[in-house]
């Protein structure tokens, strides 16, 4: 998972989280992902405030005891837009609205979620097969790709 420094967040995301999957996708899906990657600056901020990301944040990687989070496991850490972890968490789990409200996310964060969810979806297509194509195509549809 390449995580080198970049001063252009959309280019980083396009190259290191989307285009890297193109050779491993069915051709029609690869064309749509590539078209989205080519215009990713329309969807993502160029320079979001950097945060340390867990990188694989979903319910199975959150340890809870006594109603409190007491640990996070299985990290794939990097620096980036904190909305990445929010998107991953919302892919398989459904945090309550108060969770999102407490984060104070930038306007438009909901519209960016499909972009950030594409990365784990593409990984899942590669690892687990066609059962992940429908949500992948849904994310692409929502982005006009």
E-state strands within 28-132: 51-53, 62-65, 68-72, 78-80
Closest CA to 56 of 42, 41, 77: 77
- The catalytically annotated residue of 8, 15, 47, 56 is 56
Give the domain 9-46+81-142 fold.
Answer: Aminoglycoside 3'-phosphotransferase; Chain: A, domain 2 (3.90.1200)
Domain ranges of the chain: 9-46+81-142
Active site residue 56: yes
pLDDT above 90 (res 4): no
Look at residue 51 in the predicted model and tell me its pLDDT. Answer: 94
Kindly tell me the sign of the dihedral angle through the C-alpha atoms of 116, 43, 112, 142.
negative
Q: What is the pLDDT of residue 34?
A: 98
Could you read off the pLDDT of 19-59 as tens digits, one per residue? 999 999 999 999 999 999 999 999 999 999 889 999 999 98
Task: Work out the pLDDT band at 120, boundaries 50, 70, 90.
Answer: very high
Give tens-digit pLDDT for 69-107: 999 999 889 899 999 999 999 999 999 999 999 999 999
Distance in angstroms (rounded) separating the CA atoms of residues 12 and 30? 18
């Amino acid at each position: 998972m390449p995580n080198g420094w970049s001063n252009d967040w959309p280019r980083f995301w396009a190259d290191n989280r989307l285009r890297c999957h193109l050779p491993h996708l069915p051709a029609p899906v690869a064309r749509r992902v590539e078209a989205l990657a080519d215009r990713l600056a329309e969807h993502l901020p160029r320079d979001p405030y950097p945060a340390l990301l867990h990188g694989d944040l979903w319910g199975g990687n959150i340890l809870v005891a006594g109603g409190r989070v007491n640990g996070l496991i299985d990290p794939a850490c990097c620096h980036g837009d904190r909305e990445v972890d929010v998107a991953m968490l919302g892919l398989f789990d459904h945090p309550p609205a108060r969770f999102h409200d407490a984060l104070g996310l930038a306007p438009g964060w909901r519209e960016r979620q499909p972009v950030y969810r594409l990365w784990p979806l593409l990984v899942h297509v590669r690892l687990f097969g066609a059962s992940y194509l429908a949500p992948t195509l849904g994310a692409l549809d929502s982005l006009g790709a």
